[in-house]
Structure 1
Amino acid sequence: MAINLYGKWRLEVVKAIHNWENRYVIDGASSGGGTFDGVVGPAKVIDGVHWQLRAEYRENAGEPWAESDMMIDAAPDRIDIRATIGAEDPLPQLDFEDIEWDARWQGDTLFDIPVRPFAVRILDLGQMPDGIFETAIGVYYMGVRVENHWGLAFGPDHAIDITPQSRAQLTARGIDVIDSFTQRELDMLGQKLSGTGISLEGLEPDRSRVFYFKIDVREASPRKHDITFSVTNRAGMADPGDPRRFKTKQIFVSSSYIDETTGQIVSEVQEGEIRVQLREVAIDRVTAKKKRRRLDGSDGKGGGEKPRRGGRRRNPGARDLRRALEALLKGKDIDPCLIQKLLTCYCSCRDLPGFPGGGGYDPTDPWGGGRDPRFPGDGKWQYPPFLAFPTKFDYTVTPSEPFDGQYGPLPYDDPWWKVLLIIIAVILLIAGMIAEAADIAYQDEDNVIGTLGAFQQDDIDAALCVIDTDRALAMNTVLDAQGDEDFLNPLTALNGMVTAVTGNVMTHAEVSNLLVLPIDDPQRKVFKSGATTGFTHGIISGLSPTGHSEAAWSIDQLQITRDPAFDEPTSQKGDSGSVWIHTETLRPVGLHHSGAADGSGNFSIASLLEDVQRILNITI
């Protein structure tokens, strides 16, 4: 078996104890290669990027040459390698002295880290812009590219680590090194732990590879931070303190937050700050819808198993996160730490028993249900990363120190200020991916999605919309109660549809006539199929000019209360836009827009569709 060597080596045969004819061959060297007799003699210098030393033997001149067994002993580990290489013919006693070389590597380096360590988001394994660590996101994989500049491939005992002194300094600066990895993480990253470090086994000279540490920068100050790495051999070293075993690199940290007085997003670095006021955000709904996966084990297109019977448990953190993001996009005061806490709650709660696939995701069965921890979900669907990017915003840059002339300082003396804008965009992307945000990203295709036209918020809170052509439901049809929803009280059949809904809307006068009937009269009953609560029932309780606080109300609105025959709320936030339908006649009555602010679902409010048609000039 040949020995692989790299770079320039000095080889000297110091022993040659054999009965058969021996020789050795040097293949692949740029200089010093060839075939040589296996006898003690002067040293030879061989050089090459990657070359092989192979020993051979034969019993007599009439026999072909065969390869000898070989070994290399480079212990104790040292940068200027001094090794014993031995060759052995197939004899009962293996002493590897048929040919023995004293081998000395002529180089003087061990490794290098050619680029600055960079931030990789744990959620989606995406690299942060310019590799900058942003405190608002918190915990990252820190990618470290390691090049082997030694004369041998690194073995199973070689590891790269952050030195204890550097760890202590980082802790003092608010950066914690997290040594714990799950086996799933290690498999995903393709690496093995070695003590507190990462194994370098198999990394050959003149080759490089990225290894990942895990760090928490939430408490770090926005500046450059030094980190010292070391390459050690856990089996022992002759030169543990050699400075060539250490490399110090810098990481860049930014810190973003919401200015409570202005509602602006502020990102700070050592050289100053950038302030951003969001105006508009674009979302790639096509990718979100095409690549999503149902958490109940089906593919959402008729494949896989049917959704299980029983209610779907919702994560309350997702609702709170959506509210926080909506407020953020409106320029209101939101602390990014709140978003971080909600993300943490959401991700941990999603693994609780009772959620679809609760208890874990099987990567070998992508349609088997359960949540893949790398990607976000809304309790019903799981989504890969998709584009959500600010398209309109205002920003200003304020250097930390005044400067003369036209050009100011660059952040970290390296990336442009605009990189910080991208970091802010990434923060929004990460949060937006997790939230149960707009229906275009996080709900069924059956929920109305399209291009907005005429609209009016006051009095009717309604808009005209050109519906997508890929809608699953025909006109005059609504979903009945579905098996994967919270409330299972169908009108016709579970997992079915309510058809033959008429387009002849109920008028204000007709609703007024219903209100003179007893509250429990069947003619006062209505139902709706909403995005959040699904199919629920209610009872018409009144007409009055009231609604949510975001609009003014000067005309009567349909008031709906709980139906005591069903243990369910009338609606929840997210059901806006669903149509309340008269149960007995299947005539549309109102367009839902408001509900109980405390989330109890005790009542709902809707605009009469008669008024919506009149104000928006709709003719059916």
Structure 2
Amino acid sequence: MSVQLYGRWDLRVVEAVHTWENRYRVEGAASGSGTYPGDVGSQVTADGAAWALVAEHRENAAAAWKPSEMMIDPGLDRVDVRAVIGAEDPLPTRDFRDIRWDARFLDGALFEVPYRPYAVRVDDLFQMPDGIFEAALGVYLMGVRVINRWGLPFTDTHVLDISPGSRSDLAMRGVRILDTWSQAELASLGQRQLGTGMVLGPLAPGAGKTVYFKVDVRNAAPRKHEVELVCRNLAGMADAGHPARRVRTQIFVSRTSVDPATGEIVSRVQEGTLRMRLREFALDQVNGRKGRHRCPPERRTAAGKGGGPSAEQRDLLRRALQALLDGRPVDPCLIQEILDCACASTPCGCGGGGDGRPHDHDGGRDCDEPFYAFPTKFSYTVTPAAPFPGQHGPIPFDDPWWKVLLLIIAILLLIAGAIAEAADVAYQDEDLVIGTLGRVQRDDVDAALCVLDTDRSLAFLTTLDAQSNEDSQNAVTALDGDIALATPVMTRAELDAIMLLPVTDPQRKVHKSGARTGLTHAIMTGFAPLGHDLATWTIDQLALETDPDFNELVSQPGDSGSIWVHTATLRPVALHHSGDGPGTLGRASLLDDVQRLMGITISG
């Protein structure tokens, strides 16, 4: 037996109660590997990405060394940066004191935050440009990427939190940390809250995950704000104040408003102010209209002023039940969530369609999905906060993030204002609501269940073939036609068998109908637990590459959610979620895994 450790540890033998001869070995370490006596005072510092501590015993000098039993325990006081490791030979009692080490983790912090926390809009979960928190938009999710740099796994009792001192400092600067979450909100992000912290485990050494905090910056000063993150073990800590538990980082806040006297948009950060006037911009009007839909209604209690379920709740239930009667696939958990919410005596989130996403509700107004828009003519001035001597000041050289940020924020807000002003009345149309979002699974498959309105969807198990207005004209059945899919979905075992065939074999060929690229073809090349960095990938994903027979792009941004179909049999294979910049590589979750993790069956 052995104990697997990660990173840099100091091992010192503090107890040796053995009848037979004992020793220990360090294996696989970048430094410190070797064999050492099992006597009190023996000490070694070992370091490596992953290495093993092995204890051994023998009955006499002529006997062979045999492995001893081993255990590792953070100790009775639940100390995370220090552990007790014990080894046990067969005699005299099983107390793991034949060799006992005092093990200290020396690798700095228990966790790493590889890049600064970033702002995510609560209504659509889109990241703000460069992750900047714009005060004009108010409440955000603060995404924090965490990598375990401790030598042992984080468990379900380890949480990431913002330290009380940092919370107080941020509050004085107008940044409020909001700790009130609904279970639906937490579920939509794939995280769990304990106290005011977010659970980190299970998270193996070297692995990473993203956790989210809710932040209100509407009163924040436009500047960089320091955030101190702390890792706590809620099962108990004797080392609560240890600096290895804390990591300091920053968030960037801007503040944008409109000058009523000049009509300019004014963006401020710590380093200076940008004033901008937009004169012309180009707008994708087709997708702008398609992306507009009714904002989710306000959350309310079922036993409200009028008593009983609200009109919105009754309408959601009616639509879900009608879809079920029409023979369309409906997640039964969605109906259960609507019923639970309508019958509850406390506020809940089903008014937003049961999607569990945090919403800023807008009183029945319309909301816009992302679409393409960019300025063609504008003018701006940049004024530094502090004057400088000479011709060349700090603006071209220092901290360039804020100058790009100001332009991006100003353009986005101006365009958003123009769209809302021009189209607020024109698109108040119930037909634009495309459906109701149900259960969401971000990690491993990045999938969601929804009920689609009839006039917004094709027949189930049908995809569009190549269309005459698209770049790709390599139709599977007929140009401007539909493709009827066969079931069941392909299993991992079937795909493993296909992967044994030569890469040129027709059985390797698949195709998809993507929103951005249209119908494109690809070759299945293998499996790997890889995907975009907004989710955690612990199970294999399907890897795809350009099919040389067609020389088409595998995917482009906007193709996520399209289905890869086995061309030879027309059976569904995988759910697309990622690709590379040139569009020559793609990643997709096996529908076999989607069915299992979402608790559904895809059938004809």
> With structure 1 as the length reference, what TM-score do the two structures score?
0.52
- Is contact 1:118-1:143 (8 Å) kept? yes
Q: After superposition, give the CA deviation of every residue in 1:119-144 in whole Å (9 maximum; x if it has no partner).
A: 11112222211221111211011122
Check the 8 A contact 1:387/1:429 in 2, yes or no.
Answer: no
Q: Which of 392, 415, 420 is residue 401 of structure 2 equivalent to?
A: 415
Q: Name the CA shift for 1:443/1:58 in 2 (closer, same or farther; >3 Å).
A: farther
- Report the CA distance between 1:258 and its aligned residue: 2.7
Shift, 1:252, TM fit: 1.8
Residues 442 and 98 of structure 1, relative CA distance in 2, 3 Å threshold: farther
With 423-432 and 138-147 compared, the bigger mean Cα shift is at 423-432
Q: Distance in 1 between matches of 2:277 and 2:300?
A: 32
For residues 165 and 55 of structure 1, do their structure 2 counterparts lie closer, same or farther at Cα, with a shift above 3 Å needed?
Answer: same
1:357 counterpart residue number: 316
Query: C-alpha separation between the residues in 1 aligned to 2:156 and 2:83?
Result: 17
Give, in angstroms, the shift of residue 202 of structure 1: 4.0
Identity %: 40
1:194-225 deviation digits (Å, cap 9, x = unpaired):
32122333445555443321110111222222
1:151 deviates by 4.0
Give 1:394's aligned residue.
378
Alpha carbons of structure 1 residues 241 and 39: separation in structure 2 relative to 1, 3 Å: closer
* 1:9-53 Cα shifts (integer Å, max 9, x gaps): 333445455678876554332233356776767333322122122
- When residues 34 and 187 of structure 1 are mapped into structure 2, their CA distance, relative to the original with a 3 A threshold, is farther
Query: Partner of 2:187: helix, strand, or coil?
Result: helix
CA offsets per residue over residues 157-194 of structure 1, 9 Å max, x none? 43332222322222222221101222233233333323
Unmatched 5+ stretches in structure 1: 294-317, 319-342, 446-469, 473-620
Instruction: Give the 3-state SS of the residue equivalent to 2:170 in structure 1.
Output: helix
3-state SS of 2:395 partner: coil
8 Å contact kept, 1:138–1:216? yes
With 357-366 and 108-117 compared, the bigger mean Cα shift is at: 357-366
Match of residue 274 from structure 1: 275
| 1:402-461 residue CA offsets vs partner (Å, 9 max, x unmatched) | 55425663798331524223223444677869997587896759xxxxxxxxxxxxxxxx
- Verify the 8 A CA contact 1:139 1:217 in the aligned structure 2: yes
Instruction: Measure, in 1, the Cα distance between the counterparts of 2:180 and 2:38.
Output: 51
Q: Measure the CA separation in 2 of the matches of 1:71 and 1:143.
A: 33
Q: Which residue of 2 aligns with 1:301?
A: none
* 1:86-132 per-position Cα deviation (integer Å, ceiling 9, x unaligned): 13468997522244223234444444434332211112222211221
Equivalent-residue separation in structure 2 for 1:435 and 1:20 (angstroms) = 86
SS at match of 2:100: strand
- Are 1:226 and 2:210 matched, yes or no? no
For 1:385, the equivalent position in structure 2 comes to 369
* CA distance in 1 between partners of 2:119 and 2:407 (Å): 16
The 1-side partners of 2:53 and 2:69 are apart by 11
Matched, 1:72 2:73: yes
Q: In 1, are the aligned partners of 2:118 and 2:127 still within 8 Å (CA)?
A: yes
Q: Once structures 1 and 2 are overlaid, which stretch shifts more, 211-220 or 227-236?
A: 227-236
SS in 2 for 1:250: strand
Q: Does 1:44 align with 2:28?
A: no
SS at match of 1:146: strand
Q: Report the equivalent of 2:142.
A: 142
Structure 1 residues 412 and 236 mapped into 2: Cα distance closer, same or farther (>3 Å)?
farther
SS at match of 1:115: coil
CA distance in 2, matches of 1:360, 1:241: 53
The letter of the residue matching 1:165 is: G
SS at match of 2:311: coil
Tell me, in whole angstroms, the C-alpha distance in 2 between the residues paired with 1:393 and 1:2: 67
The structural deviation recorded for 1:240 is: 3.9
Q: Bigger radius of gyration, 1 or 2?
A: 1
Unaligned runs of 5+ in 2: 303-308, 321-328, 339-352, 433-454, 458-604
| Offset of residue 156 of structure 1 | 4.0
C-alpha contact (below 8 Å) 1:24/1:35 kept by paired residues: yes
The CA RMSD over aligned residues, in Å, is 5.0
Tell me what 1:553 maps to.
Answer: none
Contact 2:185 2:356 in 1 (8 A): no
Cα contact 2:287–2:371 (8 A) shared by 1: no
Amino acid at match of 2:316: G
Q: Is the 8 A contact 1:154 1:204 kept in 2?
A: yes
> What is the aligned partner in structure 2 of residue 127 from structure 1?
127
Deviation at 1:228, TM superposition (A): 2.8
